[in-house]
Amino acid sequence: MSIKVQDFFKPVHLDENIKDSDYESIKQIIEIVKSLTEVTYQTIYLVDYYRRNFLYVSDNPFFLSGSSAKQVQKDGYLFYFKNVPENDLKLLLRINTAGFSFFRNLPLNDRMKYSISYDFRLKQKSGNYMLVNHKVKPLLLDKYGNPWIAFCIVSLSGQTESGNIRCNSNELKKTFRFDLTKNVWVETSKIKLSKRHKAILIYSAQGLTMRQIASEMKLTINTIKYHKKDLFSRLGVKSITEAIVIAIEMALI
């Protein structure tokens, strides 16, 4: 299977003829995004589906794969062809197609309320691959409700393998998971965590040991172990590090 950059834009349908003057409003958006990059370790970049390029790329080094932010912005989607292994590149194309299909089936009023999240491997400057989490949310639509500008965030993944594709709306309290085997979106129940689950996550994120957490919560270590095991089961993880990352990603704490 030979993938080309233009394959990622086949599902894109922009019916409006967007003029250069329409981009004036985006300058202010870019300045706001630049400010956001000063207070986060995550990489933020903007995709322009009309011109099929990147409008802005922040300079977080782990996302850049040894290149400069300016070079990554110039490369656009070609950046992924240079730095994502072939199997994951094929996966990204499937996610891209599935994501646009999901978006087009949403009511117009709900299209700005959802984001898509997934994990893939990205080459680092050392030549090794790192699993990253990628979130994409429409930022501007054309007058027909098609995505024009998208806001993208890249961070370290809390998972152990590529995939883990979800469309989520915190506002509508809905989450959909993409089943790669059946090639369909499946609505999932919102994960619910108890106060004890959340406390264990927060104390663990602060670096407390099991014994210290038990002391803070006035519980036995065996009780903490029980709730921790239940927490891992609910989140589908095997370590507290994964649990913390996923809980943050899904706005559970």
- The model's pLDDT over 114-158, given as tens digits with 9 standing for 90+, comes to 999 999 999 998 889 999 999 999 999 988 899 999 999 998 887
Residue 192 has pLDDT above 90, yes or no: no
- The model's pLDDT over 10-35, given as tens digits with 9 standing for 90+, comes to 998 877 788 888 888 889 999 999 99
Residues 96 and 211 in one domain: no
Residues 109 and 158 in one domain: yes
Q: How many domains, in total, are found in the chain?
A: 2
Confidence (pLDDT) at 224: 94
Please, are residues 49 and 12 in contact by the beta-carbon 8 Å criterion?
yes
Residues 44 and 125 in one domain: yes
- The model's pLDDT over 76-122, given as tens digits with 9 standing for 90+, comes to 999 999 999 999 999 999 999 999 999 999 999 999 999 999 999 99
Residues 181 and 221 in one domain: no
25: domain CATH number? 3.30.450.20
Residues 24 and 86 in one domain: yes
> Higher pLDDT residue, 22 or 250?
22
Residues 131 and 100 in one domain: yes
Quick one: pLDDT band at residue 1, thresholds 50, 70, 90? low
Average pLDDT over residues 207-234: 94
Residues 112 and 147 in one domain: yes
> Higher pLDDT residue, 143 or 190?
143
Domain that holds residue 40: 5-188
Average pLDDT over residues 61-75: 91
226: domain CATH number? 1.10.10.10
Cα–Cα distances in angstroms (integers) from residue 232 to residues 89, 104, 161, 192, 237, in the given order: 30, 34, 17, 12, 5
Residues 184 and 200 in one domain: no
Residues 144 and 160 in one domain: yes
Last residue of a domain, one of 188, 206, 229: 188
- Residue 78 is given by DSSP the state H
Handedness of CA 110, 113, 116, 122 (dihedral sign): positive
Last residue of a domain, one of 188, 214, 233: 188
Q: Considering the chain, what is the average pLDDT of its residues? A: 91
Residues 133 and 30 in one domain: yes
Quick one: pLDDT band at residue 41, thresholds 50, 70, 90? confident
What pTM value is reported for the model?
A: 0.84
Residues 178 and 200 in one domain: no
Separation CA 246–CA 217 (nearest Å): 23
Residues 69 and 141 in one domain: yes
Separation CA 134–CA 131 (nearest Å): 10
Confidence (pLDDT) at 187: 93
